[in-house]
Amino acid sequence: MVEVIEETARAKNLALELPDWPGHLAGQHVDVRLTAEDGYQAQRSYSIASAPEEGHLLLTIERLEDGEVSPYLCDVVRAGDELELRGPIGGYFVWDASLVGPLLLVSGGSGIVPLRAMLRHWQAGDRPVAVRVLHSARSLDDVIYREELSRFDGDDQADVRIALTREWPDDWPGHRGRVDRDLLDEVAWLPQEHSRMYICGPSGFVEAAAEGLVQNGQTPSQIKTERFGPTGS
């Protein structure tokens, strides 16, 4: 363990130093296993937030009140502690800078975590394609990586938009309410541009976003999804 950093009121960044780490692809995840003194074990999967080029492994953990693992990782773990990890895992929901075609990243809540790894990898690869990001959160304070995402304002190679579903400032210029077909159609590339689309978030959000893109004419085979349930941590 290297460092514990507060990301939002409900999420922590865990920066891990792994001397024997074999490397990973943007979009992969790891399994974290905790073992209690009585031998009871609990294991959960967490997406990797750091790009393959970065010198450490970053996990962003959102605390779930009824979770077995996330409360410990957010409230108990301290710098210097050791964690048991297995990975990297997954080869489907990954993006590499060598892939052609513009990129569309759609996320809800902590679903932004693997997409952040893709964004970081995109930056490290000298921005090989244009990218658009649509992130949905309950409020501005709940936006994970809010400061980092704001740095893309005015970037001619990256269009980042945030939709707030429950609370927003009176002068909020972005989308208010849930992500719908009209918003998806607004941010998505034209079907003939053969973009690569990645959607991550709660199951209902992912299903609705994927269905909306297909209904708007996008090719299903170009859409990759990763989802998590209400008690995933």
1 pLDDT tier (thresholds 50, 70, 90): low
CATH class, domain 3-89, is mainly beta
Q: Does domain 103-228 have CATH number 3.40.47.10?
A: no
Rounded Cα–Cα distance for residues 73 and 140 (Å) = 23
Mean pLDDT, residues 173-184: 95
SS3 per residue for the chain: CCEEEEEECCEEEEEECCCCCCCCCECCEEEEEEECCCCCEEEEEEEECCCCCCCCEEEEEECCCCCCCHHHHHHCCCCCCCCEEEEEECCCCCECCCCCCCEEEEEEHHHHHHHHHHHHHHHHCCCCCCEEEEEEECCHHHCCCHHHHHCCCCCCCEEEEEEECCCCCCCCCCEECCCCHHHHHHHCCCHHHCCEEEEEEEHHHHHHHHHHHHHCCCCHHHEEEEEECCCCC
> How much is the pLDDT for 187?
96
User: What are the residue ranges spanned by the domains of the chain?
Assistant: 3-89, 103-228
Decide: 11 and 49 in contact? Cβ < 8 Å: no
pTM above 0.85, yes or no: yes
Q: What is the mean pLDDT of residues 206-220?
A: 97
Of residues 230 and 101, more confidently modeled: 101
> Which tens digits make up the pLDDT trace of 29-84?
999 999 988 889 999 999 999 999 998 899 999 999 888 899 999 999 999 888 99
